[in-house]
Amino acid sequence: MQSNEVFGPFGDTIMNYDGNIIRPPSEADSIILQVTVGCSHNHCTFCGAYKDKQFRIRSDEEIAENISFAARYCTRQRKVFLADGDALILSQKRLTALFHQIRTRLPQVRRISLYGNAKAIRSKSLEQLRELKELGLDRIYMGLESGDDVVLTRVRKGETAASMISAARKVAQAGIFLSVTVLLGLGGRKLSLQHARQTGRVVSEMVPRQIAALTLMPLAGTILGDQVEDGTFLLPDALSILKELQEMVTFITCDKVQFMANHASNYLPISGRLGRDKVAILATIDQAMGGKISLIPESYRAL
């Protein structure tokens, strides 16, 4: 078991992590509390984030120790992010106890966020989600990846478009901010436009507050990475990815949602508000496809 420690200003340990920690870009200034190790699903063919971790829930003692150090050294940070990939899978009893502990020991914290997969979200009743909101749960990050059931089956997501819509709507009903991630290129060349259009339709039905679009970058050691190497999965080129982006935005019909395609993996950094900025976003994509806007070079793209 790999353990990573973060050290305080005088060399004393202030946080203990099991393996590497992954968090959304918007949680850069958050206190990161590792509640679970890895991901309870961990079968997605494209994901290499937790392949070196066996899923487990950290003990109350481990979590309490890190909260104690955060209470001592992180007094200016007003956000907490609960890592790793599936903190919401904890029982309601343990979650409410954890949230109470955060409120007591970290009184300056105003927002708690976490990754939530659809299965874990559906395991909570609407009343339980509302209880967590009352205790400080402000934001759930959910990976849709694709709205196309054929693509979802091929990448072993373990969900359907309908099951993820159901989970997303429950989050919305609870009044919790929902951020949905989609992955351009995941359909390969053959299903490229099908993937884009269905993703646009499904994410609209999820009614998120934020949509984050990333571009697939196959990782060595993953099933999809091996498929790219042996030629059974053909990656769309940059122009095809832009076409996917264009189609997906076209098919998104929800309003008052922040749309971000400015992740380092993307060829064309874009952000705006839908539907207010939809026409401008589509115009920018069209200009890039016509060569009037330069794309991010391959060497500068990163996860």
Question: Is there a single domain that holds both residue 90 and residue 158?
Answer: no
158-187 average pLDDT score: 98
Q: What percent of the chain shows pLDDT beyond 90?
A: 88
Asked if pLDDT for residue 6 goes beyond 80, the answer is no
Radius of gyration from C-alpha coordinates of the chain: 20
Q: What percent of the chain shows pLDDT beyond 70?
A: 95
Question: Is there a single domain that holds both residue 98 and residue 166?
Answer: no
* Number of structural domains in the chain: 2
**pLDDT band per the 50, 70, 90 thresholds, residue 130:** very high
Give the global pTM.
0.93
What is the model's pLDDT at position 271?
95
Query: Is 79 part of any domain?
Result: yes
Query: Is 134 part of any domain?
Result: no
Question: Is there a single domain that holds both residue 65 and residue 109?
Answer: yes
What is the model's pLDDT at position 52?
82
Taking the C-alpha atoms of residue 167 and residue 155, their distance in angstroms, rounded to an integer, is 19
What is the model's pLDDT at position 176?
98
Asked if pLDDT for residue 21 goes beyond 50, the answer is yes
Whether 178 and 210 have beta carbons less than 8 Å apart is answered as yes
E strand or H helix at 69: helix 60-73
Domain with 218 in it: what CATH number?
Answer: 3.30.750.200
Question: Is there a single domain that holds both residue 62 and residue 177?
Answer: no
Residues 135-172 have pLDDT tens digits of: 999 999 999 999 999 999 999 999 999 999 999 999 99
Question: Is there a single domain that holds both residue 173 and residue 93?
Answer: no
Query: Among 58, 51, 108, which residue's Cα sits nearest to residue 82?
Result: 58
The distance in angstroms from the start CA to the end CA of the chain is 24
Question: Is there a single domain that holds both residue 103 and residue 145?
Answer: no
Question: Is there a single domain that holds both residue 89 and residue 4?
Answer: yes
Question: Is there a single domain that holds both residue 3 and residue 68?
Answer: yes
**pLDDT band per the 50, 70, 90 thresholds, residue 74:** very high
Mean pLDDT of the chain, nearest integer: 93
- Beta-carbon contacts of residue 249 (< 8 Å; ≥ 6 apart): 200, 259, 274, 278, 281, 282, 285
21-47 average pLDDT score: 93
Phi, psi of 56 (to 5 degrees): -155, 160
Range of the domain at 106: 1-115
- Beta-carbon contacts of residue 229 (< 8 Å; ≥ 6 apart): none
Question: Is there a single domain that holds both residue 57 and residue 110?
Answer: yes
51-78 average pLDDT score: 93
What is the model's pLDDT at position 12?
43
